[in-house]
Amino acid sequence: MADALSLVVEDLVVMGDERRPIMTLDRLSLPRGSTLGVRGPSGAGKTTLIFALAGLLPNVSGRISWGETDLTALGEAGRRAFRAAHVGMVFQDFLLFDELGPAANAGVFALFSPRRSRHHVRTRAERLLARMGLSSDRSSTATLSGGERQRVAVARALANEPDILLADEPTASLHREAADLVIGDLVAHAREADHTLIVASHDERLLDRMDRVIELAGGARAAA
Ligand SMILES: Nc1ncnc2c1ncn2[C@@H]1O[C@H](COP(=O)(O)OP(=O)(O)OP(=O)(O)O)[C@@H](O)[C@H]1O
């Protein structure tokens, strides 16, 4: 596992399809291994910030430095390599493979892992699913409920033990009890080994567990 990384964001501007800024953040500094919540009204740019921090967006100016690496100075291939080495993501709309079962989805990173760590990723995925109360022997995720799909997506992100975990509304489609379990898993993952955790969320129970919370106002320049 790679060392945890600190984060420095400066003068971040993300441009939308019409070449207009859709998210701006003046400054954010996060020590390695800390947890951050991002709140803000719908459309404020929370998803955009999470995607930019993962290096998923092309039209980004300013600085996003994870340790020594400035993502805004890298091309697409460089950002992809950085993501593969460091970043786990929980997407708002899950992005599961419907035709694969929960275990195959949660353990999908085993396919891209070095041979020696594949078994570890798969075992960890199955352990996480069991802890979340999900049977791993179904052959498809198409018929799972929204909450169940959410838990598979969280298990997938955690199975790979990323040193940076970015999550977009990870509890949005869960009932309270399942949401609290997922919150416990995300925070435990961060605390276990000084992993960095950044979550965009409206869930106050989740935000309360973060070391810090920043507010995106949308449109206006934000600083943290
Ligand atoms: N590629 C794009 N081109 C133009 N505008 C975009 C693009 N992507 C997002 N937007 C707009 O940018 C704004 C921020 O979107 P974003 O999804 O980041 O908000 P959010 O805070 O995550 O909202 P929600 O809480 O509803 O998920 C929105 O007004 C959205 O419509």
pTM: 0.87
Burial class of residue 3 in the structure, from the number of CB atoms within 10 Å of its CB (0-12 exposed, 13-18 middle, 19+ buried): exposed
Residue 220 covered by a domain: no
Range of the domain at 149: 7-215
Residue 185 covered by a domain: yes
* Ligand 1 contact, 43 CB (< 6 A): yes
CA of 77 to the centre of ligand 1 (A): 24
Residue 1 covered by a domain: no
Look at 34 and 106; give whichever has higher pLDDT: 34
Going by alpha carbons, the residue nearest to atom 8 of ligand 1 is 16
Residue 222 covered by a domain: no
Residue 168 covered by a domain: yes
Residue 221 covered by a domain: no
pLDDT at 1 over 60: no
* Ligand 1 contact, 46 CB (< 6 A): yes
- CATH number, position 54: 3.40.50.300
* Ligand 1 contact, 113 CB (< 6 A): no
Average pLDDT over residues 184-204: 89
Q: What is the mean pLDDT of the chain?
A: 86
Residue pair 46/40 in contact (Cβ under 8 Å)? The answer is yes
* Ligand 1 contact, 41 CB (< 6 A): no
Question: Could you identify the atom of ligand 1 that is nearest to the CA of residue 51?
Answer: 18
* Ligand 1 contact, 45 CB (< 6 A): yes
With cut-offs at 50, 70 and 90, classify the pLDDT of residue 212: very high
Helices 115-131 & 146-159 angle (0-180, nearest 10): 140
CA of 44 to the centre of ligand 1 (A): 7
ipTM over 0.90: yes
Residue 211 covered by a domain: yes
Look at 93 and 197; give whichever has higher pLDDT: 197
Look at 14 and 95; give whichever has higher pLDDT: 14
pLDDT at 54 over 90: yes
* Helix, strand, coil in percent for the chain, rounding step 5: 40, 25, 40
Residue 160 covered by a domain: yes
Q: How far apart (Å, rounded) are the C-alpha atoms in residues 11 and 146?
A: 36
Look at the chain and report how many structural domains it folds into: 1
CA of 191 to the centre of ligand 1 (A): 30
The one-letter amino acid at 59: N
